[in-house]
A and B are shown apart, each in its own frame.
Chain A
Amino acid sequence: MIFALLVHDAPVGRHSSQAAYRFASELLAGGHTLFRVFFFGDGVHHSTRLNLTPGNETDLPQRWSRLAAEHGVDLVSCVGSALRRGIVDEAQARQHALEAVSLRDGFELSGLGQLVEASIRCDRLVVFGG
């Protein structure tokens, strides 16, 4: 079965984000396809590369990035949500003369059309943190 996920909450402070990652790992382990994960609102904090997580805690941004590299999962952060929260890619940083790039490898910034496409193309769209 082909899945897409929508993640609303930040990686820290809410359990729903841990659940989203575990769900993604398990469905891949079960032989299903994860077409795309769309991070919206505070969910875009998953796509920062400037976080530091204590060693005994799960670094969700790093885990997602690794999952994307291993399984070819498309990780998309909503560009509107991201720019408001200081998550910028190289193109945005250049365009707006910002002093740093904060988007983590494996993620891309794009619009809500990517969520709509995921809804159309997948068998199941599962929402975390709604």
Chain B
Amino acid sequence: MSTQRTRSVLVVCRSAPYGRSRARDAIDLAMAFAAFEQPVTLLFLGEGVFTLAGGQQPPAGTRHLGKLLGTLADYGVGQVFADAAALAERGLAVRELALAAEPAHDDTLRELFATHDRVITV
């Protein structure tokens, strides 16, 4: 069995923030891997980019994911990327996001999937 202590992890969120708990699950997974000192990158694809939208008003009894994103850095989640095409299709401007995510075009997306040891889709 490998003696390696860390594996880089790409956590991929493809679900909108409310209506299902998948986006919340993705953030929880990213935080957990970071808490155990694994290098973590979080990527929002497709509908998942709505998780980054500024000015969220979630339904009562639901965790505010825009605010939760603000704590990612405290857990040591290194980088957050958002599918650039998905942002544009949904009218989300990078400067208005709840978190300063880096827009990722096709070449960056390919690189993210190729360079991480683990890809965890949620």
Contacts and interface: CB of A to CB of B under 8 A. Distances in A.
Nearest to B28: A112
B122 A8 contact: yes
A101 interface: no
Given A40-B25, A41-B25, A116-B33, A127 B121 contact: yes
Contacts of B12: 130
Interface residues of A, number: 18
Contact of B2 (A121, A125, A127): A121
Chain A contact residues: over half helix, strand or loop, or mixed? mixed
Contacts, number: 47
Q: Give the one of A80, A116, A121, A125 with max B CB within 10 A.
A: A116
Contacts of A120: 2, 4-7, 38
A130 B38 contact: no
A116 B31 CA distance: 11
B5 to A, nearest CB: 6
Interface of B: 1-2, 4-7, 9, 12, 21-22, 25, 28-29, 32-33, 36, 38, 117-122
27 contacts: A2-B1, A6-B120, A40-B25, A40-B29, A41-B25, A112-B28, A112-B29, A112-B32, A112-B33, A115-B32, A116-B32, A116-B33, A119-B7, A119-B117, A119-B118, A120-B2, A120-B4, A120-B5, A120-B7, A120-B38, A121-B1, A121-B2, A123-B2, A127-B119, A130-B12, A130-B120, A130-B121
